[in-house]
Structures are given as C-alpha cells and as structure tokens.
A = this chain, B = another copy of it.
Amino acid sequence: MSNLLVLGGARSGKSRYAQLRAEALTGELVYLATAQAFDGEMAERIALHRADRGPRWSTVEAPLELAEAITAHSRPGTVVLVDCLTLWASNLILAERDSTAATADLLRAVLDAPGPAILVANEVGLGIVPDNALARRFRDVAGRINQEVAAAVDEVVMMVAGLPLVLKPKA
C-alpha cells in the first residue's frame, strides 16, 4: 500500500499535515503514538494533541514495539499514522535496543502493511553539533532512520512553517 513520510522541525506543522493527509483517505484512522509522558510538560502536549485529533481517530501507544503495532493495526480499510519516529528513536536508545535491527523490522512492517501508512519524523540535524555525546548519538540514530525510511516509502514531504515541500514526489 502507498505510504508517506512527513519530515519537519519543531512547530513546523508536520503532525497536523500528516493528520490532514490521513483524514483525506477513507476508512478507519489509527494513531500510533510513540510519545511517553515522562513529565508534566510532555503529558500536557500529548493530551492537547489527542484532543486535537477528534473522534474519527483511535489512539494506540507504541513507544517501542512499533513494527508489531503497525502489523497488528494495519488493514485494507485502515490508515495507520505513526507520530513520531524521532521519539521512537529516543525511546530505543533509552531502552538500549538495537536501532538498526528495529529499523529493519519497522521497514518490513511498513512495506508489508495491507493499508496505507503515514510516518512523521523530526529533522534534528540542522543545528550546531551538540555538546554531549548522547545527543550526538541520538542525532545520528534519528538521521539514519529518516534516511532509511525516506528511501523506502513512496512519498516524502518536508514541512517548513506549515508549508509542504515535496522531497520525493509520489510516482
């Protein structure tokens, strides 16, 4: 099935654009949330985003087992939206998982999914080199995931200030 990667920085409108693209399709809508509320600031953001989506959506939390969640929830009449791969990358690192193997599993699940998949990811590599080694490692892992997913999917869009810039047009 067709799939889409939506890239963007913080407050670029990537989640909203991904949701609009999902809502433009017919069928059920499943939101696979990778966010985990570690503190009040995160919990507030998660609740706001959930309220934003409206009743057509069901939400499933998948902070780590993302490939399994895609496989479990994708059906011919269902759109699966993953938001976002960059928090997932962060969760993988914190849980000391092998991100290379996890990414291979993810790509297999996305490409084998019977329904359309829309994946959201942050672009985090366009600032100054971070001071600490963990942030550099996170940036590397997130960037590699973005490259691999971008190569595999049918369409890639980068959001800037709420405007979509097509990086890989749908064939």
CB distance from A48 to the nearest CB of B (A): 12
Chain A positions 145 through 163: 1 when the CB is less than 8 Å from some CB of chain B, otherwise 0: 0110111000010101111
Among A25-33, A56-64, A107-115, A130-138, the stretch that binds chain B is: A130-138
Query: B10, B41, B123, B128: which contacts A161 (Cβ < 8 A)?
Result: B123
Residue of B nearest to A7 (CB): B161
Query: B142, B161, B168: which contacts A150 (Cβ < 8 A)?
Result: B161
Query: B136, B147, B149, B160: which contacts A7 (Cβ < 8 A)?
Result: B160
Number of interface residues of A (CB under 8 A): 41
26 A-B pairs in the complex with CB atoms less than 8 angstroms apart: A7-B161, A9-B123, A9-B125, A10-B129, A11-B143, A11-B144, A11-B147, A12-B143, A41-B133, A121-B161, A124-B126, A124-B127, A124-B128, A125-B126, A126-B127, A127-B128, A128-B135, A128-B139, A146-B162, A149-B161, A150-B162, A156-B161, A156-B163, A160-B167, A161-B167, A163-B167
Q: A13-B147, A127-B128 are in contact. List 6 more A-B contacts (CB 8 A).
A: A10-B126, A11-B147, A124-B129, A146-B162, A149-B161, A150-B161
